Amino acid sequence: MEVKGNGFSLELKEVLESIPYGVAFLDDQLRVVSINSLLEVLTGYQSEKVKGLEVNQVIKTNVFKELKTGIKKEEKFIIEGDIIDVNRRKIPVKLIVKNIFQGKRRWVILVVEELPFWKEKIPFLPQAEIDFFLGNSPAILKIKEMLPIFAASDATLLIEGETGTGKDLFAEVIHKLSKRADQPFIKVNCGALPETLLESELFGYVKGAFTGANTDKPGMIRLANGGTLFLTEISELPLNLQVKLLTFLDDKEFYPLGSSKKVRVDVRIIVATNKNLKQMVKEGKFREDLFYRLNVLKIQLPPLRERGDDVLILADHFLNEFAKRSHKKIKGFSEGALKVLKFYKYPGNVRELRNIIEYAVHVSSEDLISEKHLPEYIFSSIKEEIEGEKKIEKAEIEGIFKGSTERPFSWAEFEKKKIIEALISCNGKKSEAAKKLGWARSTLWRKLKEYGLE
Amino acid sequence: MKILITVEKDWVSPRFDLTREVLIAENKGEKIRTVILPRPSAEELCSFILTENVDIVVCGGIEETYYQYLLWKKVKVIDRVIGPVKEVLKRVVQNRLREGKIIR
């Protein structure tokens, strides 16, 4: 399709590509005629494949009804709503709709503009203020301090952290706080695609580059022009693509597949990994030169188990969120549940805590979340850990008697610790704790008095 | 194998959280029933899916939270599917449906 004017003629696709937002060109029945590359990235559907489909199928918005009504009444209007994108994120958007008349025929231009993400409720974030990471632990306070510094810089940033620590969120916050906030934020998961596909996704290709390349594809790097390119799971990047990425980082230029013309772009690169890149370099699994090129700015996101009482702050936040969503009036956690939540080590970090709270809210029909509402696996994991600790302690004690450890051993301290553990595991019930310790109830009472644990 | 497809006007509904109608198929698609939901709600639909012991959910757009929750509950989710429910069901029964598929 062509757009013609006084002395000019342009391909529709070219016009749509020139707009720095996701754009759909629709017919009068709101069926897709064409969408631009940015909308392709946002929705995960290719323009050619969605031709003729009702736009609601492609841009999964909650305001389609309003859009349909508005289009009949007004020539141009704006609606705010949300969409669900290819990455299963609910994104707050502004839909700018404009009718275009060509004789009797009507066409519709629909522009999708992402709204600042803190306008919508996002887990991890308190809504009243823009405090991006919940928690007051020293580890998280340090990160909060670094946030504006990293956002102000344009240097490559490496985010390390275990799974579920919030690497994606951190990258997005950095982008939204940077001067590039109004430009695209493109995320590519290096571990999610096979090597050849990843190369064409990143660097794009020209028509005829290989069988099936029927049109030019700009590639994610070009789509991120002016904005931020976030490469997650960077450790999974195949070695030959590591070379290509390194060259791009040095020159800010690259050749799309099958093209002899260099493309120059201005993007900020943020990468993330849950692996130890330095160790991978030592093992020859990651290029040393690329590692140093990426490691300009570096941040290590702390695992939840090292964030102390942040667990409780986050648990409370998630409880409020899920209780509100499920229309349940849950006031908080029982003492026992809080102890369990605090004691558990969360290998899946904040994401796991969130899932645990969601589960608890779903299964609870009371106004307090207690231990019985928490998933069973937590308890078996805690039990394993306590047993593991017992084994270690036993070995230490044996060591003391053999005189092979340097740590001074205090029997009183050891006994006190065992009593506390027994009381925690029995939810404070003394008779059960005494049974667990193999003592008579009176012995436990006496020991509690002795150690000041009453 | 119990399959649930979110429905809107005989097509897979574009959004899981706005779904008002679902199709439930058993016995390789031979036993089919339609359920009208009291209101669109992703949470309520998730608990309905679990109560019904559904094995596979086919839907349009779904938020990561609900996707992960269902996976955690061992429910397979094939999302971002576009197409008429009848054809989609045929494909899922034949194990020929994948995420992001467009059927016309």
Question: Cα(A254)–Cα(A225) distance, rounded to whole angstroms?
Answer: 13
For chain A, give every residue range classified as CATH 3.30.450.20: 2-114
A interface test, pick of B47, B102, B103, B104 with most A CB neighbours within 10 Å: B102
User: What is the spatial distance between Cα A95 and Cα A83, in angstroms, rounded to a whole number?
Assistant: 10
The residue whose two tokens read 């990994």 is: A273
Q: How far apart are CA A150 and CA A179, in angstroms?
A: 11
CB contact (8 A) between residue A325 and residue B82: no
Instruction: Return the CATH fold of A411-451.
Output: Arc Repressor Mutant, subunit A (1.10.10)
The rounded Cα B99 to chain-centroid distance in angstroms is 12
Q: Mind listing the pLDDT tens digit of every residue in chain A (454 residues)?
A: 665 555 555 678 888 888 888 999 999 999 999 999 889 988 989 898 999 999 999 999 999 999 999 988 888 999 999 999 988 988 889 999 999 888 888 899 999 988 765 544 444 443 333 466 788 888 888 888 888 889 989 999 999 999 999 999 899 889 988 888 888 889 999 988 788 888 988 998 888 878 777 777 888 998 898 899 999 999 999 988 999 999 999 989 999 988 888 889 999 999 999 999 999 999 988 999 999 999 999 999 999 999 988 999 999 999 998 888 888 889 899 988 998 998 899 999 999 999 999 989 988 888 899 988 998 888 888 877 777 766 655 555 454 444 434 344 456 676 777 788 888 878 788 888 888 777 777 778 878 877 777 6
- Please spell the DSSP secondary structure of A352-390, one letter per residue: HHHHHHHHHHHH--SSEE-GGGS-HHHHHHHHHHHHHHH
Domain assignment present for B102: no
Task: Give domain status of residue B75, yes or no.
Answer: yes
Mean pLDDT of B1-17: 96
End-to-end CA distance of chain B: 25
3-state secondary structure of A257: strand
User: How far apart, in Å, do the first and last CA atoms of chain A sit?
Assistant: 83
Tell whether A189 lies on the interface with B, counting CB pairs under 8 A. no
Separation CA A248–CA A264 (nearest Å): 9
Are the Cβ atoms of A44 and B80 closer than 8 angstroms?
yes
Cross-chain Cβ contact B68/A57 below 8 Å: no
**DSSP H or E run through A332:** strand A332-333
In a domain, B76, yes or no: yes
Which of B65, B79, B81, B102 has the highest number of chain A CBs within 10 A, making it the mutation to test binding with A? B65
Q: Which residues of B touch A351 (CB under 8 A)?
A: 68
User: Looking at the 3D structure of chain B, how many domains does it have?
Assistant: 1
Close Cβ partners of A315 (under 8 Å, ≥ 6 residues apart): A333, A338, A341, A353, A357
Contact by Cβ (8 Å): A74, B47: no
Alpha-carbon distance A315 to A165, whole Å? 14
Q: Which residue in chain B has the smallest CA separation from A87?
A: B64
Q: Which residues of B touch A123 (CB under 8 A)?
A: 65
What residues are paired with A9 via a beta bridge? Answer: A4
Q: Do B64 and A83 touch (CB under 8 A)?
A: no
Q: Could you give the residue range(s) of every CATH 3.40.50.300 domain in chain A?
A: 127-300
CA A355 to chain centre: 14
The whole-number pLDDT of residue A427 equals 79
Provide the pLDDT for residue A2.
61
Q: Establish if B101 touches chain A: CB-CB under 8 angstroms.
A: no
The third-level CATH classification (topology) of the domain covering A2-114 is Beta-Lactamase (3.30.450)
Judging contacts by C-beta atoms under 8 Å, the chain A residues touching residue B60 are 57, 60, 84
What ipTM, to 2 d.p.?
0.94
Does 3.40.50.300 match the CATH number of domain A127-300?
Answer: yes
Kindly state whether residue B104 falls inside one of the protein's structural domains. Answer: no
In chain B, the residue whose alpha carbon lies closest to the alpha carbon of A327 is: B43
Bridge partners of residue A429, in order along the sequence: none
For residue B21, the model assigns a pLDDT of 97
Establish if B99 belongs to a structural domain: no
Q: Is the dihedral of CA B67, A147, A252, A181 positive or negative?
A: positive
Of B11, B14, B64, the CB nearest to A88: B64
- Please name which of A235, A242, A294, A241 lies closest in space to residue A269, comparing C-alpha atoms: A294
Q: Does B84 touch chain A (CB under 8 A)?
A: no
Q: What is residue A411's predicted lDDT score, i.e. its pLDDT?
A: 61
Question: Is residue B79 included in any domain, yes or no?
Answer: yes
Tell me which residues of chain B, numbers 64 to 83, contact chain A at a CB-CB cutoff of 8 Å: 64-65, 67-69, 72, 79-80, 82
Which residue range is the domain that position B40 belongs to? Answer: 3-94
> Do A355 and B62 count as a contact with CB atoms less than 8 A apart?
no
Its sign, for the CA torsion A13, A15, A18, A22, is: negative
Residue B42 to residue B60: CA distance in whole angstroms? 13
DSSP-derived secondary structure for chain B: --EEEEEETTEE-SBGGG--EEEEEEGGGTEEEEEE-SS--HHHHHHHHHHTT-SEEE-SB--HHHHHHHHHTT-EEE-S-BSBHHHHHHHHHTT---TT-B--
CB contact (8 A) between residue B61 and residue A84: yes
CB neighbourhood size of B1 (10 A): 14
